[in-house]
Amino acid sequence: MIVTTKKDFEEIEDALKSYNNIILIYCGTCSVTAQCSDEKSVNEMLEHLKNAGKNVVYHQEFKEPCDFRQDLQDWRNVPQEALDKVDAFLILSCGAGLQGMLDLFDRKNIVKPIFIGLNTHGIAETERIGRFHVKCAGCGDCLLNYTGGICPVTSCAKGLMNGPCGGQLDGKCEVGNYEKDCGWILIYERLKKIGRLDLFVQLRPAFNWADRGHQKSVVFR
């Protein structure tokens, strides 16, 4: 799932300072599991907005804001009366969800600002509700076949392709004062366990970060 956390309301209030009439949209999938757009969180946000002097003219759950097809269906429930009043939209979702809404706005000729109430951290394993471990950065060049199934981008604080670096001590990483495991020691131990240390000594080129952060579409044929 995509892990999100709540932004400080002060940041949200600052973003909305020029707008009074707000439509609140919230994700019904990942962000609910992350306890960022569940019923309690939505009610808290509504209370925050009210205390900040904002008028929430409408609020609605969108099942999957990152799915344009679902957005088209959910949008049918938004009343025109609310759209006539709204100054800005606030969305409780991951960054992909907000940008999915922007595509919907373009389709519907909605020219209103939209702001996000959550921070996005990555693709994670769920241990339990409220505890997640970010395991994948979605880099588009997966190395798990060569690293024993452990991602060096998310497990190594420096995102090194060849490690460990000289900053590890007794299997702990210098980033964070030696409290977290060194990702490359974890990779080494895993490859050793499965008898594939030959993969560990293979030189991997530096990761090409030039394509990260750029617009990208993935098309399945």
Domains in the chain, start-ordered, CATH in brackets? 2-122 (3.40.50.2300), 142-207 (no CATH)
Confidence of residue 129 (pLDDT cuts 50, 70, 90): confident
Higher-pLDDT residue of 213 and 113 is: 113
Strand partners, 120: 4
Confidence of residue 205 (pLDDT cuts 50, 70, 90): confident
Is residue 212's pLDDT more than 80? no
SS3 173: strand
> Do residues 204 and 144 lie in contact, with contact meaning Cβ atoms separated by under 8 Å?
no
Instruction: Please give the DSSP secondary-structure letter assigned to residue 182.
Output: -
Residue 211's pLDDT is 65
Long-range contacts of 201-210 (CB under 8 A, 24+ apart): 202/146, 203/162, 204/143, 204/146, 204/161, 204/162, 205/161, 206/161, 207/139, 207/141, 207/153, 207/159, 207/161, 208/141
Residue 141's pLDDT is 82
Residue 215's pLDDT is 58
**What mean pLDDT is predicted for residues 121-125?**
88
Residue 74's pLDDT is 96
